[in-house]
Amino acid sequence: MDWLEGKVVLVTGGTGSFGGEFIEMVLKEHRPSAVRVFSRDEVKQLEMSWRLSDSRLRFLIGDVRDKERLHRAMKGVDIAVHAAALKQVPMAEYNPIEAVKTNIIGAANVVDTAIDNDVGKVVFISTDKAVHPVNLYGATKLVAEKLFIQANAYAGREKTRFSCVRYGNVMGSRGSVISLFGEARKNGVIRITDERMTRFWISLRQVARFVIECMGKMIGGEIFVPKIPSMRLVDIASMIAPEAQWEVIGVRPGEKLHEILITREEAPRTKEFETHYVIEPQHPFWNPAHVEGGAPVPEEFEYRSDTNPWWLSREDMAAYLATLQPES
Catalytic annotation, pick one of 129, 141, 227, 256: 129
What is residue 237's predicted lDDT score, i.e. its pLDDT? 83
Write out pLDDT tens, residues 123-164.
Answer: 999 999 999 999 999 999 999 999 999 999 999 888 999 999
Write out pLDDT tens, residues 311-328.
Answer: 988 888 888 777 764 443
Of residues 254 and 213, the one with the higher pLDDT is 213
The residue among 123, 233, 86, 230 whose CA lies nearest residue 168 is 230
Q: Which amino acid is at 109?
A: N
What is residue 289's predicted lDDT score, i.e. its pLDDT? 66
Distance, CA of 264 to CA of 61 (rounded, Å): 41
Cα 261 to Cα 84, 102, 318, distances in angstroms: 20, 23, 25
What is residue 111's predicted lDDT score, i.e. its pLDDT? 98
Rounded mean pLDDT of 224-233? 94
What is residue 290's predicted lDDT score, i.e. its pLDDT? 67
Rounded mean pLDDT of 195-202? 92
Contact assessment for residue 199 and residue 169, using Cβ atoms and an 8 Å cutoff: yes
What is residue 327's predicted lDDT score, i.e. its pLDDT? 42
Contacts of 75 (CB under 8 A, 6+ apart): 117
Of residues 285 and 214, the one with the higher pLDDT is 214
Is 129 known to be catalytic? yes
Q: Which of the four pLDDT bands, split at 50, 70 and 90, describes residue 284?
A: confident
pLDDT exceeds 90 at position 7: yes
Cα 282 to Cα 110, 269, 319, distances in angstroms: 22, 8, 41
The DSSP letter of residue 311 is B
Q: Which of the four pLDDT bands, split at 50, 70 and 90, describes residue 26?
A: very high
Region for residue 33 given its phi and psi (left: phi exceeds 0; alpha: psi -120 to 50; beta: otherwise): alpha
Rounded mean pLDDT of 254-280? 95
pLDDT exceeds 70 at position 248: yes
What is residue 100's predicted lDDT score, i.e. its pLDDT? 98
Write out pLDDT tens, residues 175-191.
Answer: 667 767 767 677 778 88
Q: Which amino acid is at 180?
A: L
Q: Which domains does the chain have, with CATH numbers?
A: 8-170+201-227+261-306 (3.40.50.720)
What percent of the chain has pLDDT above 70? 94
What mean pLDDT value characterizes the chain? 91
What's the pTM? 0.93
